[in-house]
Structure 1
Amino acid sequence: MFIATLIAKESLNERDIQSALASLNEAGATTTRQSDLIDGRVIDFFFDGDPVAARAHLEKIGGQIDIAVQPESNRIKKLLISDMDSTMITVECIDELADYAGIKPQIAEITERAMQGELDFAEALHGRVALLKGLDSAAIQQCLGERAKTMPGAETLVQTMVGSGAATILVSGGFTKFAKPVAQAIGFESFHANVLGEEDGALTGILDGPIVDSARKDELLQSISQSADIPLALCMAVGDGANDIPMLQRAGLGVAYHAKPKAAQAADVAINHNDLTALLYIQGISADQWSRK
């Protein structure tokens, strides 16, 4: 048995619901039941059939509606692992940091190509960091305060999952000087990111220690899942770029959040219209159960 969840940015109407039922029928699925309308904009359909075909047909409905198709079992996740830049915060920190060095367009172009999967991530990261050599280290804190804004729904998502007993890990191809305060502000239990080299109050243009790249994110998901005795089926991974694809494919549910095409294609679910609270609706957690500051 599978669940198809429709999450509207604003509201679902009867026409949307009937279109979804017709789409499931066209996909050869047998709908056994449906939930009541949840919070005016979410509904679950329970069905037997091919989940891939169901998702493909449902995504043709259009409008500002996100679709999630998943097995009915293991719906509630016990581990959340998430990317940071453009996922839990609204910007790419290295691009914003480059703005203080006056080279944002040059670095942002490389970032975009790396996130699209057109460039080797590690090579692109080393190249961008090298361009920041000599930048005053104080720019990091300034950038953090002025540019690193929390993505809508991030705190509610993380704190609700923490409140339910889930483990939460922030994994970033960015930098610890951003990841640590972001993780603390949102409520993640732990974080992993790259260390920017600094000397005499300025960036050295190199990284200290191993790189958190796609392989490392995947390794962290596997090792944390194993050490916490949480099956991968009960893990949710969230990201937006090619660097996130291995962990999106490894987790029981991989969610591409406002993502690049390759990441969206690789993930089980693509959220394009809603904020991060959509990841709670996917788990069957309605707004009256959310944790809020």
Structure 2
Amino acid sequence: MPEPVARFLVVLDADSTLIRNEVIELMADEAGRGAEVAAATEAAMRGEVDFATSLRSRVAALRGVPVAALARVRAHVEPTPGVRELTAAVHERGGRVAVVSGGFHEILDTVAPDLGVDVWRANRLAVEGDALAGTVEGAIVDADGKAAALREWADELALPMSRTIAIGDGANDLRMMAVAGLGLAFNAKPTVREHADLVIGRVDLREVRALLP
């Protein structure tokens, strides 16, 4: 195996992990369908419905939202407490930070680099004219997609899976948490807390620093 490019890799979910918000709910507020989409998101995160099917239905509710509204959504995004301290600690120790999200590049492409993330992957929203089309372009980043992204990034860094940490809150994070060397439940739903290697109790990402290699 080639010499590792980094000492270790930390992969986070985005919504309710890297950031405090569920971005699709902020977008749905722009369409006047916030409560409806919030209920569907909660069900998906608890693992009660298939994530990809749920995401398609929630994104359909965004049809007609002006692209210009995405700037307002970005302005409402709140970083999770301790996120910058965590990414700084990872970098100080020779690690890399990645984010894989069932959310959207349209938000992460601005938010992720500002928070010290090295690489990220998410869904892309289709656009018709100057408004959202209500569909997602390409394959949806679901539970399998998250696990695949973690493996791909570890391979690129020439890291064994034992040198990876996955952090998530929802049912669609469980597969990447299972393949990682250490799977951490953070701000998590009961089913995620039950299956994680460790549960972070406080909603503060500084708590993860003590677990870094």
What is the TM-score when the length of structure 1 is the normalising length?
Answer: 0.69
Q: What runs of 5+ residues in structure 1 fail to find an aligned partner?
A: 1-76, 285-293
Distance in 1 between the 2:48 and 2:201 partners? 22
Stretches (4+) displaced over 2 A: none
**Deviation of 1:254 (Å):** 0.5
| Contact in 1 for aligned 2:8/2:164 (Cα 8 Å) | yes
Alignment of 1:243-262 (within 5 A): 243-262=172-191
Which residue of 2 is the match for residue 99 of structure 1?
Answer: 29
Q: Secondary structure at the match of 1:277?
A: helix
Say how many residue pairs are matched.
207
Give the superposition deviation at 1:141: 1.1
Deviation at 1:274, TM superposition (A): 4.7
How many angstroms does 1:241 deviate by?
A: 0.1
**Which secondary structure state, in structure 1, belongs to the residue aligned with residue 205 of structure 2?**
coil
Q: Once the 2 structures are TM-superposed, how far is the Cα of residue 249 of structure 1 from its aligned partner?
A: 1.1
1:278 is matched with which residue: 204, 207, 212? 207
Output the CA distance in 1 between the equivalents of 2:21 and 2:174. 19
1:113 corresponds in structure 2 to 43
Q: Is the 8 A contact 1:197 1:205 kept in 2?
A: yes
Amino acid at match of 2:16: S
Gaps of 5+ in 2: 1-6
Determine if contact 1:257/1:271 at 8 Å carries over to the other structure: yes
Q: Which amino acid aligns with 2:41?
A: T
- Asked if 1:235 is matched to 2:167, the reply is no
Question: 1:207-226: CA deviations, max 9, x gaps?
Answer: 11111111001011112112
Between Structure 1 and Structure 2, whose CA radius of gyration is higher?
A: 1
The answer to whether the 8 Å contact 1:79/1:235 transfers is yes
Matches of 1:176 and 1:103, distance apart in 2? 21
Match of 1:157?
86
Q: Is the 8 A contact 2:165 2:182 kept in 1?
A: yes
| Counterpart-to-counterpart distance in 2, 1:96 and 1:183 | 17
What are the equivalent positions in structure 2 for 1:198-237 lying under 5 Å apart?
A: 198-237=127-166
TM-score normalised according to structure 2 size? 0.94
Cα deviations by residue, 1:94-148 (Å, 9 ceiling, x for unpaired):
0111111111000000000000000000000000001110011111111111x21
Choose between structure 1 and 2 for higher RCO, CA contacts under 8 A separated by at least 6 residues.
2
User: In the alignment, is the contact (CA less than 8 A) between 2:90 and 2:212 conserved in 1?
Assistant: no
Aligned 8 A contact 1:159 1:186 in 2:
no
Which range moves more in the overlay, 107-116 or 272-281?
A: 272-281
Give the Cα separation in 2 of the matches to 1:247 and 1:220. 8
In structure 2, what is the Cα distance between the partners aligned to 1:107 and 1:189?
30
Q: What secondary structure, in the 3-state scheme, does the structure 1 residue paired with 2:184 have?
A: strand
2:10 to 76, 80, 95: 80
CA distance in 1 between partners of 2:157 and 2:72 (Å): 36
CA contact (8 A) 2:177 2:183 kept: yes
Q: 1:274 to 1:119 in 2, by over 3 A?
A: closer
Task: Report deviation, 1:169.
Answer: 0.8
In percent, how many aligned pairs have the same letter? Answer: 37
Q: What's 1:135 paired with?
A: 65
